[in-house]
């Protein structure tokens, strides 16, 4: 085996460190072993947070890589785009792109603001709220509306409950250790997961069947039913169902976590100036601003970008397996090893982000970062499909809630984050006290 970059030798210890401090554990590894460094495993995984290495990975021919964690098909379905490779991945990605373009995404703006208002309408002074939970409900409704339209609100509510139960029932242990996925006579957590999954699939299949006979609508499901590939072929029911699940899974908890981190960061006492500056910008919009005006506020955008930098959702590399050798910063990595971008290193480089642990939205007003320096949504052929939608939703939810309420953190204890399903989210969900309802 050719020489790989150095790295820690214990897989278990590295995993424990990741589970304890998902965002903070990456930089010490790069400091100790250098960049690139290797994670132990079978196969080992080489990762980098250096823009030169990141560029080498994101600009390589996509057929260089295969997804490493095909076993996730148990959760996502066999035809989930995120688990496919090569021509199959390209075909599905092309079919899925149109609903996620800028103009389409902006059409969701009004609904996002109304949902943010509705889910916070009962906030009263002195009440404690868990921002992550509220954000999760908002983003779940946003994605359900975008995906299925709003024709049947009650059915959507049922679907939302089913999905939340299903996702919250996936423990990191089941996700990380395939050997624990046993039905145990129908009693274990995995059996419960399978029961919920069956129920969900039945409901989705019924919705797909209905969309096939209905006329064209604007929602994503309808667009997927109408989509045709280069050979004029439609997507199969299984393909559509697995992508619907992927969109809801990839699209709601991710955005909710990032919104919760934004509230957390802004309300830390050391970031009071950032909160004040944002509040001033939002107040200057007057009483009933257009959604587009709210969406275009530069400091609001900088706050969201800084949140995605400082609190990356996927600080550890999304694993890829090399199908052919790759040159990475002086190493010739052989086929068969894993490779990935360590966002938790990239976003904390002193040379790019001075005082990297500080929350400083101003850095995004002062300079632009390349797609190999700032990578919250990944890059290359597998860059997040929902990036524009997520960024749009973050700005509008944050802006809408801050215009209506003053809040403070219920506890000032620093939050190192914890692994929630596959993402690094706030450990305690960001508990806040409502201070004032603004006129």
Distance CA(271)–CA(277), nearest Å, equals: 10
- Does 81 bind ligand HEM (CB under 6 A)? Our answer is yes
Q: Which among 169, 160, 109 is positioned nearest to 289, based on CA atoms?
A: 109
Helices 131-148/153-168 angle, 10° precision: 130
Beta partners for residue 106, in sequence order: none
- Does 376 bind ligand HEM (CB under 6 A)? Our answer is yes
Query: Out of 14, 136, 197, 254, which residue is the one contacting ligand HEM (CB under 6 A)?
Result: 254
Alpha-helix residue ranges (DSSP H) falling in 169-271? 172-176, 189-213, 220-226, 237-267
Nearest residue by C-beta to ligand HEM?
386
Give residue 93's Cα distance to chain centre: 17
- Does 386 bind ligand HEM (CB under 6 A)? Our answer is yes
Give the total of residues touching ligand HEM (CB under 6 A): 24
- DSSP tag of 3: P
Nearer to ligand HEM, 48 or 258 (CB): 258
Distance CA(23)–CA(395), nearest Å, equals: 23
- Does 250 bind ligand HEM (CB under 6 A)? Our answer is yes
Smallest distance from the beta carbon of 371 to ligand HEM, in angstroms? 12
- Does 240 bind ligand HEM (CB under 6 A)? Our answer is no
Distance CA(365)–CA(386), nearest Å, equals: 24
Instruction: Tell me which residue has tokens 């790019």.
Output: 352
Contact track, ligand HEM, 291-330, x by CB under 6 A: -----------------x----xx---x------------
Query: Out of 30, 140, 390, 424, which residue is the one contacting ligand HEM (CB under 6 A)?
Result: 390
Q: Which among 316, 308, 301, 403 is positioned nearest to 359, based on CA atoms?
A: 308
- Does 385 bind ligand HEM (CB under 6 A)? Our answer is yes
Sequence-distant (6+) residues with CB within 8 A of 314 are 343, 378, 422, 423, 424
Smallest distance from the beta carbon of 295 to ligand HEM, in angstroms? 15
Smallest distance from the beta carbon of 216 to ligand HEM, in angstroms? 21
Nearer to ligand HEM, 208 or 220 (CB): 220
- Does 65 bind ligand HEM (CB under 6 A)? Our answer is no
- Does 143 bind ligand HEM (CB under 6 A)? Our answer is yes
Distance CA(306)–CA(309), nearest Å, equals: 5
Stretch that binds ligand HEM, among 173-181, 260-268, 385-393, 428-436 (CB under 6 A): 385-393
- Does 93 bind ligand HEM (CB under 6 A)? Our answer is yes
Nearer to ligand HEM, 241 or 382 (CB): 382
Q: Which among 28, 75, 71, 80 is positioned nearest to 49, based on CA atoms?
A: 28
Nearer to ligand HEM, 7 or 317 (CB): 317
- Does 265 bind ligand HEM (CB under 6 A)? Our answer is no
Beta partners for residue 436, in sequence order: 406
Stretch that binds ligand HEM, among 56-64, 117-125, 358-366, 379-387 (CB under 6 A): 379-387
- At 174 the three-state DSSP class reads helix
- 219, 147 contact by CB (below 8 A): yes
- Does 134 bind ligand HEM (CB under 6 A)? Our answer is no
Smallest distance from the beta carbon of 51 to ligand HEM, in angstroms? 16
């Amino acid at each position: 085996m050719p020489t790989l970059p150095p790295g820690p030798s214990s897989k278990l210890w590295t995993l424990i460190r990741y589970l304890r401090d998902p965002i903070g554990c990456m930089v010490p590894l790069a400091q100790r072993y250098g960049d690139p460094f290797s994670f132990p495993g079978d196969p080992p995984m080489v990762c980098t947070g250096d823009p030169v290495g990141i560029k080498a990975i994101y600009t390589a021919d996509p057929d260089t890589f295969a997804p490493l964690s095909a076993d996730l098909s148990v959760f996502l379905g066999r035809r989930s785009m995120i688990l496919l490779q090569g021509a199959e991945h390209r075909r599905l990605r092309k079919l899925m792109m149109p609903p996620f373009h800028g103009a389409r995404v902006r059409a969701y703006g009004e609904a996002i603001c109304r949902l943010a208002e509705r889910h916070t309408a009962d906030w009263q002074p002195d009440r404690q709220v868990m921002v992550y939970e509220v954000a999760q409900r908002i983003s779940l409704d946003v994605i359900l509306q975008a995906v299925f339209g709003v024709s049947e609100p009650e059915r959507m509510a049922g679907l939302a409950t089913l999905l939340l139960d299903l996702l919250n029932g996936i423990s990191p242990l089941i996700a990380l250790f395939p050997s624990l996925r046993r039905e145990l006579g129908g009693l274990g957590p995995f059996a419960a997961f399978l029961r919920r999954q069956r129920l969900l699939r039945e409901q989705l299949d019924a919705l797909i069947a209905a969309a096939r006979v209905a006329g064209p609508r604007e929602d994503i499901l309808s667009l997927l039913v109408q989509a045709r590939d280069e050979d004029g072929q439609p997507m199969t029911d299984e393909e559509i169902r697995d992508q619907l699940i992927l969109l809801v899974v990839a699209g709601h908890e991710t955005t909710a976590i990032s919104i919760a981190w934004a509230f957390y960061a802004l309300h830390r006492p050391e970031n009071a100036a950032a909160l004040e500056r944002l509040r001033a910008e939002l107040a200057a919009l007057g009483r009933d601003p257009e959604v587009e005006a709210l969406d275009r506020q530069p400091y609001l955008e900088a706050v969201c970008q800084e949140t995605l930098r400082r609190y990356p959702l996927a600080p550890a590399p999304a694993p890829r397996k090399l199908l052919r050798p790759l040159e990475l910063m002086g190493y010739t990595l052989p086929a068969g090893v894993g490779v990935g971008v360590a966002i938790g290193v990239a976003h904390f480089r002193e040379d790019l982000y001075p005082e990297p642990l500080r929350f400083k939205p101003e850095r995004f007003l002062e300079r632009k970062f390349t797609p190999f320096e700032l990578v919250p949504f990944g890059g290359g052929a597998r860059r997040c499909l929902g990036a524009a939608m997520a960024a749009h939703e973050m700005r509008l939810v944050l802006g809408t809630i801050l215009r209506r309420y003053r809040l403070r953190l219920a506890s000032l204890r620093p939050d190192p984050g914890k692994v929630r399903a596959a993402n690094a989210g706030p450990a305690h969900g960001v508990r806040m006290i409502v201070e004032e309802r603004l006129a």
